[in-house]
Amino acid sequence: MLAASEWVPLVVDRSESRIEVDVKATVGSFVGHLADYDLDVEVDPIEKRINSATLSFKFSDVETGEEKRDKHMHKWQETEKFPDVSFILRRLESTADGRYNASGQLAFHGQTQAIQFPVSVLQEGEEYLIEGEAVVDTQLFGLPIIRMFLALKVDPLVTVRMTVRGTVAEPK
């Protein structure tokens, strides 16, 4: 049995979780899917709170389903030079509507920036559902706007969507 305010890891169900990057363009908008990642979340199941969360992955694991587009994306992002991406949650504050504002540090393309975005956290027994959506301006990370043929443009604001399902780890 857990004592009050005991932090325990969340065991992420990868088959029910996903992280996606939605990219808008004049022509050819697409969604990139994160094929592999490390996500460490600690929760207090008694107080129904998240204590900490850290996400890390290799940018090369973002896949759009189109090899040529992936190759161009990795060239633009300089994946060989900047292979790692991470997010560290610094604060999770409740809002009047029962959701939360997540604040943390995003390290991407050799730059680290503070970001803030809304999340929802639902708990039923030992199971958690965490959903969030962050808009990231790639220009803040030193990346150029992609333009082709004067009229075609990729929006530098990308939307990262995350759905995480997990279960409280069994106490040892």
pLDDT band at 1 (very low <50, low <70, confident <90, very high): very low
- How high is the pLDDT of residue 6? 77
Domain ranges of the chain: 8-168
Per CATH, the homologous superfamily of domain 8-168 is: Lipid/polyisoprenoid-binding, YceI-like (2.40.128.110)
Tell which residue, 136, 135, 157, 134, has the closest CA to residue 145.
157
Helix/strand/coil for 155: coil
- How high is the pLDDT of residue 171? 62
pTM of the model: 0.90
Q: Is the pLDDT confidence value at 2 over 60? A: no
Residue pair 86/107 in contact (Cβ under 8 Å)? The answer is yes
As a whole number of angstroms, the distance between CA 73 and CA 60 comes to 9
As a whole number of angstroms, the distance between CA 89 and CA 5 comes to 19
Residue with tokens 């803040």: 140
Share of the chain above pLDDT 70, in %: 95
- How high is the pLDDT of residue 49? 84
Span 107-151, pLDDT tens digits: 999 999 999 999 999 999 899 999 999 999 999 999 999 887 767
Tell which residue, 58, 68, 152, has the closest CA to residue 107.
58
